Amino acid sequence: MLAEEPSDQFLRYSLGLEFDKEGDHDRSLELLQGLMNDEHAHVPAFMMAAQQLVKLQRVDEARNVFQRGIAAAREQGDAHAESEMTEFLNQLA
């Protein structure tokens, strides 16, 4: 399906989550990074990438991703995602 719709954010996000479940963190984070860099950033990708980075003990990178995600959520008017990521970021402090 992704071959037919390579820009489909939901498909890319879902594949990224599957790679994470399989322990292929490099491929997962690569897909999530692509979503974060899309013209219309996929806000959930920030949350999932940051949480994955925390699990991998890459806390400084996770903080950066949370900060970028908070800004993207604010820009898109997604107060719920902004609040969630702010809470997670505060827990890392």
Architecture of domain 9-92: Alpha Horseshoe (1.25)
pLDDT digits (tens, 9 = 90+) for 11-53: 999 999 999 999 999 999 999 999 999 999 999 999 999 999 9
Residues 6+ apart with CB under 8 A from 68: 36, 46
23 DSSP 8-state letter: T
Here the tokens at position 28 are: 């997962």
Residue 4 has pLDDT above 90, yes or no: no
- Mean pLDDT over each residue of the chain, to the nearest integer: 95
Could you give the CA distance from residue 84 to residue 56 in angstroms, rounded to a whole number? Answer: 20
Residue for token pair 């071959």: 3
Element (H, E) at 19: helix 9-21
